[in-house]
Amino acid sequence: MSKMDSVLRAVIEAIHSSPTQFVLCLSGGASQVLGWLLSVPGASRTVLEATIPYSRASMVQLLGKVPTQSVCRETADEIATAAYNRALKLSMPGTQVAGIGFTGALASVPPKRGDHRCHVSARTQTGLWRYDLVLAKGYRDRYGEDYLTSCVTIKTLADVCGVSEDVPLVLQEGTEELRQAKVVYSEEEQFEQLLSGQICMIKFSGDSNSTSGGTRRVILSGSFNPLHDGHIKLLDAACRLREGGLPCYEISAINADKPPLGLADIKARSKQFHSAGKPLVVTNQPYFYKKAELFPDSTFVVGVDTALRLVDPKYYGNSTDRMLEVMEGIKQLGCDFFVAGRTVGGTFQVLSDVQIPDKIQSMFQKIPEFRVDLSSTQLRQAAER
């Protein structure tokens, strides 16, 4: 093994030892990255997914639009953001994630008229890392250019993961220079990106132990104004019922019937979870069929009042078929519901009081012997008094 290979291996081992997980989208080069990452033990701890959107149709599907230019700084940023959103959906509560986007124009047949170049972006919650390199044309063959751009991509991963080891880049002196920059997003900018749909969620880390040992998210959605002991006991009970479940609280900044929450509201409510050491995500989806797309293979914890609405045809244009179609879609994404009893119309009701069609009966499970007669509304009213 050459000295270069030994140094790269050490860097990749350090990447795999970091707490950051990532999704890679590589187009037009850096193909050796995947082999390097997967050949070093520990890749399953860091690599969530890797894709190669090589064809034009693949790139359009990834970005949801036709890119302005296939190989440019803007497209690399957009690829990284798409990869970041994918990483958010695939990762567990409390996990640090990044999306890596690469786009390149390397030596090919017939020869390219323009510069041989690459653009690499890494999107995290707080910022965007950018790397740009114009290669000396004719100095290397295709393999050599791919090798160099693969090294640049590994350097990107190392920087994002906080790895101190340097990735050796053999550049032609005087003609080649790797340009680096970082854009830092404020909380206000992150929130604007969430409301505009540019990013699908914002994670607020809670207890660092919440990610250990579990394989399925157990999610309690609500407004949490304020968070109270009933919420915590409910989610704890659901996680005991779903052995190996990872607890997570979710707030949607966009409400189906009310104006969007403001940044001040989000900050105030997120502080509650930070103080309690509980993981929180803020999304832009008020409906469960959309939440299921954000959190595939998850269990949602709801009260019986929510379960009643989920299976009521009047919320689906008075169509039972439409209701079943939506619920089947949630089921196909690997999601189900744990249902807690609640007082509805002055009467305490449980799951058995809900008429659930046989086709979706398996999606609902009762949280047994759980009752907390407490609500955020009552606490707010008491505080106001």
**Strand 127-135 vs strand 179-184: parallel, antiparallel, or unpaired?**
antiparallel
Q: How far apart are CA 11 and CA 99, in angstroms?
A: 19
Q: Is the peptide bond before 41 cis (omega within 30 degrees of 0)?
A: no
What per-residue string of b and e applies to 302-319 under the rule 16 or more CB within 10 Å gives b? Answer: bbbbbbbebbeeebbeee
Cβ–Cβ under 8 Å, residues 98 and 82: no
pLDDT < 70 stretches in the chain: 1-4, 205-214, 373-385
- pLDDT tens digits, one per residue of 13-32: 999 999 999 999 999 999 99
Domains (ranges, CATH) in the chain?
Answer: 3-185 (3.90.950.20), 188-384 (3.40.50.620)
User: Based on the number of CB atoms within 10 Å of its own CB, is 139 exposed (0-12), middle (13-18) or buried (19 or more)?
Assistant: middle
**Strand 347-349 vs strand 96-105: parallel, antiparallel, or unpaired?**
unpaired
DSSP structural state of residue 261: P
- pLDDT tens digits, one per residue of 113-147: 899 999 999 999 999 999 999 999 999 999 999 99
The confidence score (pLDDT) of residue 256 equals 81
The confidence score (pLDDT) of residue 187 equals 93
Select from 69, 336, 377 the least CA-distant residue to 222. Answer: 377
Three-state DSSP state, 133: strand
Q: How far apart are CA 207 and CA 234, in angstroms?
A: 17
The confidence score (pLDDT) of residue 211 equals 44
The confidence score (pLDDT) of residue 370 equals 77
pTM above 0.85, yes or no: yes
The confidence score (pLDDT) of residue 209 equals 44
